[in-house]
Amino acid sequence: MTPQVKLKEFRQVSSGVKRRKLVDRIATVIVTIGGVAIILCIIAILVFIGLETVPLWQGVKSELASSFFLKESPDLASYSLDTSDGVEFPFLAAGTEEYKQIGFIVTNDGTAVFLSLKDGSTVKKVQLPGLEGKKLTSAFVTQNNVIYSFGTEDGNILSVRTNYKITFEGDKRIITPDIAEGELLNVGSSPLVKIAYEQDDDGEGSAAAGYTSDGELLFVATEQQKSLLGGGEKKVLTHNITAGLDDAKVTAMELDHFMRNLFVGTDSGKILHWDISDKESPELLEAIDASVNSHTAITALGFLIGDNSLLVGDAAGNVSVWFEAQDMTSPRGKVFQKIHTLPPLELPVTNITSSERDRGFIASDNGGNISLYHASSEQKLADFKTDGGSVSTLAFAPKANGIIAVDRNGKLYDWDIDNPHPETNFKTLFGKVWYEGYSKPEYVWQSTGGTDDFEPKFSLTPLAYGTLKGAIYALLFAIPLSIFGAICVSQFMHPALRNTIKPVIEIMAALPSVVLGFFAGLWLAPIIEKIIPAVFTLPIVLTLFTLAMVFIWQYTPRSIKGKFKEGSELFLLVPVILLAVVVTLWLNAPVEKFIFGGDYKSWFYNVLGLQYDQRNSLIVGFAMGFAVIPIIFTISEDALTSVPKHLAAGSLALGANKWQTAIRVILPTASPGIFSAVMIGLGRAIGETMIVLMATGNTPIMDWSFFNGFRALSANIAVEIPEAPHGGTLYRVLFLAALLLFFFTFIVNTAAEIVRQRLRKKFGQL
Amino acid sequence: MNKKFWKSGDPFVWLTGVALMFSLLMIAGLLYLIAAKGLGFFWPADIAEIKLKDGNMMLGEITGHERIRGMGALDKDEVAIFRTQLKIGNRDLYGLDFKWVDDDQIVTTTYPKFAVVLERREWGNMFGFIKEVSGSGTIICTGNEECWPVLAGLIPQYTRIADEIKSIEKGAIGGINMKIEDLRLDIKGLRSEGASQEKISKVEAEIKEQESLYKEQEEKLSSLYQDFNKEKFVMTSIDGREKEMPVGAVVKAYRPNAMNWLQKIGLYASNVWAFVSEDPREANTEGGVFPAIFGTILMVFLMSIVVLPFGVLAALYLREYAKQGVLVRIVRICVNNLAGVPSIVFGVFAVGFFIYGLGSTMDGIFFKEALPNPTFGTGGILWASLTLALLTVPVVIVATEEGLAAVPKEIRDGSLALGATKFETTWKIVIPSAMPAILTGLILAIARATGEVAPLMITGVVKLAPQLPIDGYFPYMHLERKFMHLGFHIYDVGFQSPNVEAAKPMVFTTALLLILIVVALNMTAIIVRNRLRKKYTTSAV
């Protein structure tokens, strides 16, 4: 070979090596990057689910979109803002529409000015009809942003309706505001200082209360009288109800949309409650001392959405929510009481206005503080402050995404609010909340309801309770069967037998849970319902039969005994179990008769107060237990088998019998393994979805009874997430539920894993 | 009992035996029950004619027999009362499929030899006798016996027409509709891009063309429908009510009481075949489960494509490339534990990340013209498969790692000593040796995925999918489509169906099918593992 050829070969080889090295390096990079990326991706699942729930805890985002002095508008410049010598503040009411483009101001001479909220330029100016030059003395918002009513100096109440017509010019939205005349109702002859007014949806009837400057409280109702000929005339009923005031002065009034309740707040700190459902004779139901003897005047009243909860603000700045809760001790069966106390404002409350979307409301005080509250969760969500002192008019935007306020300096503020999840905090998600219509604070999960003013109730506690209940019943069934089974297979059976039995039980783990759920719900549940007494007697009968079998076995001649491979004699139990089952079924009717008086359902109901549902926790216990048995069995069997043989040999050599060895030597040594088996079984039972979905009634109740169902976190997610709007509160709460499940199973499994690794080390040292 | 009895420890040993045997019996019982109920569904059972004390007659299949009120022993003076459940069919006449009769009301039970069972396209089965068969106004024959051969001869003819109608409706017309829809979206897209009128009118012309094709097919269809309703026949139920229907309404007609065993086995086999190969009918309570089988298999297949490379890659990294330390140990525990995280959690993640995150973004970029109708921004087979891939990737990682760990260090060292690079060693020596473990991991992943339902319910499984995710139209594989799944089919038919009683046997059959698939997969995993293990242990020596 010539040196040249050698060099060529060498070059070839070296270039081959180079290429191979390059490939190797590339592969290393790919595997490393790929591997790390995949593992990060898996872990990112947790992060993603967590991030989706973050907005639930985030507070309100708000900013001042615009503010300007109303005086700058030429149409409003002429009004005097000086209220020192008893002159009323000229701007009585303010409001806005859905898109928060246009706002309006109603002045005391009956002019409504619609202006652009961006810069205060006038869009339209309308003279309220039917006033004939009379001044307005008071205002009342009937239906937020739609119907406004005003009291006049000659004792009338005028209601008007705002309309916004929306047209499009290309992509540009044009809003044309207008005012439609409502009703002009005569209440008295003196100026009205405070008014309350409501009308029903078809405009046929209305109710109003007016407090005049000379201290009279008048209640007026109109009804459409229907005559046979079809035409009708309005009947007006006027009642002077001043006597009920007990010489106090009226400081606030509120009337509900159903025209059933009139609430009057007085300067003596009382809330007077009239039942006005009978328009012929309003009845003073109760006079509640809301200030508990401190004579703090009630300065503002309002209703939450649905007009059932009364919002009360007083001169000390306290804000509270009241409604009628069921109470059987009172003669009416319900008591009007203070339910929620909210964080107070600093100075006397001047205005309270509620949201049309949720159970949030805003309240303002004399010092120009405005707070955004949520009633059920009893929290203050945000604070706002004007720079011109007391807030004179306050309005909540229709989509609850903004606040319009006018202060004493005539400055208008337009705040934008981003408040997607006002109803969730730690307390509403996990604690007891007193919801409207409930007689006491409770854990409630009820995510959807029929009406617009339905309040979603998101307590995860009953769901977590259901999850635990199902898991515990499943473990109650599975633990004895699987651990005793594992002891039996690992300690008392020939290895050849073990090698056939183990795969069979492992196949059980592979059974799809939907099959088990279906089987439990449709086949097992109706059968168990018929044989409940037998279900309870089976363990006893089975034990007795087994003991009898053991007795027979001990007297069996050795010649027969010897024919069985170690442990295979236990297969003799199969006919014994079958016989025991047959006998228990036969005993079903007698047991039901002698113990349960012939009908176990009514016995349980009368004696223990338990109601029997067909799909109940017992069924779930069986089905989910069935799913968990193979898991616990396999892991504990592994732990028991891997206990070093010399321990058992030593124990047996010292004269202990097989059972003593198993229970006193093997079991304690393997107990950490068994613990981790139970933990992993628990993890599986907690996350199981289909079985709990199919074999329970899915009612979110909190009750340990094994005769009724529950709703588990997992099943709840499966049922509700398809209907949860993306990004909504329900959607995020369901993500939170998933996060809980994730954490719970992760912790349980990690604990099990650590215990197992320790155990392995321990066995290595033995 | 003497002292020795307890002291021996035997009673306790036997009690642990009870626990074990009880578990084994439960498994056996469950499998037996599902098999018995599931397999019995296809058997053409005899038709019983029951005469009641009040003179009423009933005709149907006996499906149940049980004691009324309670179970177990009776008092001396009590008499057990039994009742019999009859599947009476004729839902259009009676409104109910099943009826319970108290046994003491029954006078006689006979099996009329020529009672006819009709399996119909609508309204479920019909039990009765043929009165007459007529074709285009003229009566061909009258009487049950005379008409049977006529009807039996006509049915295959009509089955052919029905198949043709189906192929036109689903195939040709479906295809044309899809094309028209695509073209419409094209126009929308062109408009939003501000394309010239010329281009648009070109597409519009194409739509016209397709529409005329559609008309053609429609005419063909209507003439087929006319043929379909040509011959009619009248059935009499046992209580004398008559029902006229076109021959086309019948899928299958048979006279079980007149059949021998061989014939019945033949019919049984054809029923089984129909079950696995046909589309469902009557809100999934009748017909077959073919789309569900198809959906399940396709989904698992897609999942395998994703899960195998990623799982193996991650395991390779963890075992071969990463520096073994505390961090890797923690990661390993985490991956292990992910296998125990509830499947519904993965479903929730998929809803948030795949559907609302990725899917909506994809819609915004690629399927703008279809908006606001979501294409990928809603559940579909792609998302469901990816969810299951996430769910099962820990299974593959854990199994592969075990396999890699089992490859002896000597083999690696030998390869490296001979000059192979790390990659070459891994690729040519380590991975082939670990192949059994990798395959086992994959099969276990598939078995788990097949039985999983909860995460699928929220990521794209539906009770009735109008089209399969694969068809003959471009792009052939429609990953955005919703699909049917065997496990969900069980849940839906068993719990959401309006007629649970009638659907129950069908659910048992579906459950049996699902169990068979899952158990077969698990067994394959075990067998493959053992075989390959043997092969490699021998070759390594």
Structure confidence by residue, pLDDT tens digits, A279-306: 888 888 888 888 777 788 888 898 988 8
| H or E segment to which residue A351 belongs | strand A349-354
- State mean pLDDT over B459-472: 82
Cα gap B253→B119, rounded to integer Å: 6
| DSSP-assigned letters across all residues of A55-111 | HHH---EEEEEEEEEGGGSTTTTTS----TTSPPPSEEEEEE-TTSSEEEEEETTSE
| H or E segment to which residue A352 belongs | strand A349-354
* Candidate from A513, A587, A684 with C-beta closest to B340: A684
Tens of pLDDT, residues B279-296: 888 777 788 889 999 999
The per-residue pLDDT for B124 is 82
- Which range (A2-16, B217-231, B401-415) has the least confidence? A2-16
Residue ranges of alpha helices (H) inside B41-121 are 91-94
- Say if residue B452 is exposed, middle or buried (CB neighbours under 10 Å; 0-12, 13-18, 19+): buried
Q: Label residue A531 by pLDDT band (50, 70, 90).
A: confident
Strands A122-127 and A136-143: unpaired
Q: Identify the CA nearest to A191 among candidates A99, A86, A299.
A: A86
Q: Name the 3-class secondary structure at A280.
A: coil
| Percentage, residues of chain B above pLDDT 70 | 96
User: Which of A550, A596, A603 should one mutate to test binding to chain B, selecting the residue with the greatest count of B CBs within 10 A?
Assistant: A550
Nearest residue of chain A to residue B425 (CA atoms): A24
Q: Label residue A144 by pLDDT band (50, 70, 90).
A: low
Cis peptide bond prior to B372, omega within 30° of 0: yes
| H or E segment to which residue A14 belongs | helix A3-57
| DSSP-assigned letters across all residues of A540-573 | HHHHHHHHHHHHHHHTS-HHHHTTSPTTGGGGGH
Q: Do A514 and B426 touch (CB under 8 A)?
A: no
CATH number 1.10.3720.10 given to A461-765? yes
Q: Identify the CA nearest to A61 among candidates A382, A404, A369.
A: A382
The per-residue pLDDT for A581 is 92
Strands A391-396 and A402-407: antiparallel
Average model confidence (pLDDT) for chain B?
85
The per-residue pLDDT for B535 is 65
Q: Label residue A623 by pLDDT band (50, 70, 90).
A: very high
Cα gap A685→B265, rounded to integer Å: 43
Tens of pLDDT, residues B20-35: 999 999 999 999 999 9
Q: Structural domain boundaries of chain B?
A: 129-233, 290-540
Cα gap A706→B17, rounded to integer Å: 27
| H or E segment to which residue B85 belongs | strand B82-87
Q: Name the 3-class secondary structure at B323.
A: coil
Which chain B residues have a beta carbon less than 8 Å from that of A35?
313-314, 316-318, 321-322
The per-residue pLDDT for A480 is 93
The per-residue pLDDT for B540 is 44
The per-residue pLDDT for A487 is 92
Q: Do B344 and A687 touch (CB under 8 A)?
A: yes
The two structure tokens encoding residue A173: 């939205």
The two structure tokens encoding residue B274: 């129909």
Find the distance separating the first CA and the last CA of chain A, reported in whole Å. 65
In chain B, how many H helices and how many E strands? 18, 13
Edge to edge, the sheet with strand B48-52 lists B98-102, B82-87, B57-67, B48-52, B106-110
Nearest residue of chain B to residue A686 (CA atoms): B342
Cα gap A349→A346, rounded to integer Å: 8
Q: Structural domain boundaries of chain A?
A: 1-57, 61-430, 461-765
Phi, psi of A96 (to 5 degrees): -150, 175
User: Letter for the amino acid at A607?
Assistant: V
Cα gap B74→B57, rounded to integer Å: 31
Q: Label residue B3 by pLDDT band (50, 70, 90).
A: low
Q: Label residue A682 by pLDDT band (50, 70, 90).
A: very high
> Does residue A476 carry a pLDDT above 90?
yes
CATH architecture of A61-430: 7 Propeller (2.130)
CATH number 1.10.3720.10 given to B290-540? yes
DSSP B428: I
Q: Do B451 and A519 touch (CB under 8 A)?
A: no
> Does residue B212 carry a pLDDT above 50?
yes
> Does residue A473 carry a pLDDT above 80?
yes
How many Å lie between the alpha carbon of B489 and the closest alpha carbon of chain A?
10
* Candidate from B74, B317, B494 with C-beta closest to A36: B317
**Residue B119 to residues A149, B123, B271, B502, Cα–Cα distance (Å):** 70, 9, 11, 14
The two structure tokens encoding residue A59: 């507070």
Q: Which residue has the tokens 């304690």?
A: A668
Nearest residue of chain A to residue B24 (CA atoms): A505
Q: Which residues of A284-310 are buried (b: 16+ CB within 10 A; e: fewer)?
A: beebbebbeeeebbbbbbbbbbbbbbb
Cα gap A625→A479, rounded to integer Å: 8
CB A669 within 8 A of CB A647: yes
Summarize chain A as % helix, strand, coil (round to 5): 40, 30, 30
The two structure tokens encoding residue A638: 């592994």
Q: Name the 3-class secondary structure at B315.
A: helix
Strands A270-275 and A261-266: antiparallel
Average model confidence (pLDDT) for chain A?
86
> Does residue B536 carry a pLDDT above 70?
no
**Dihedral sign, CA of A151, A156, A157, A162?**
negative
Residue ranges of alpha helices (H) inside A597-707 are 600-603, 617-641, 645-653, 658-660, 667-687, 690-695
How many Å lie between the alpha carbon of B444 and the closest alpha carbon of chain A?
9
Which chain A residues have a beta carbon less than 8 Å from that of B27?
504-505, 507-508
Phi, psi of B140 (to 5 degrees): -85, -45
Q: Identify the CA nearest to B438 among candidates B404, B411, B407.
A: B404
The per-residue pLDDT for A333 is 82
How many Å lie between the alpha carbon of A500 and the closest alpha carbon of chain B?
12
Q: Label residue A475 by pLDDT band (50, 70, 90).
A: very high
How many Å lie between the alpha carbon of B469 and the closest alpha carbon of chain A?
21
Which chain A residues have a beta carbon less than 8 Å from that of B507?
518, 522
How many Å lie between the alpha carbon of B161 and the closest alpha carbon of chain A?
38
Q: Which residue has the higher pLDDT, B399 or B175?
A: B399
Strands A61-69 and A411-418: antiparallel
CB B500 within 8 A of CB B492: no
Which chain A residues have a beta carbon less than 8 Å from that of B314?
34-35, 38-39
Find the distance separating the first CA and the last CA of chain B, reported in whole Å. 59
> Does residue A598 carry a pLDDT above 80?
no
Cis peptide bond prior to B475, omega within 30° of 0: yes
> Does residue B397 carry a pLDDT above 80?
yes
Tens of pLDDT, residues B56-88: 888 888 888 887 765 666 766 777 788 888 888
CA dihedral A619→A620→A623→A624, nearest 10 degrees, is -160
CB A490 within 8 A of CB A640: yes
- Say if residue B279 is exposed, middle or buried (CB neighbours under 10 Å; 0-12, 13-18, 19+): middle
User: Letter for the amino acid at A712?
Assistant: A
Interface ipTM > 0.90 = no
Tens of pLDDT, residues A189-198: 888 888 998 8
| H or E segment to which residue B197 belongs | helix B197-228
Number of residues written out for chain B: 541
CB A548 within 8 A of CB B32: no
Q: Label residue A481 by pLDDT band (50, 70, 90).
A: very high
The per-residue pLDDT for A737 is 93
> Does residue B429 carry a pLDDT above 80?
yes
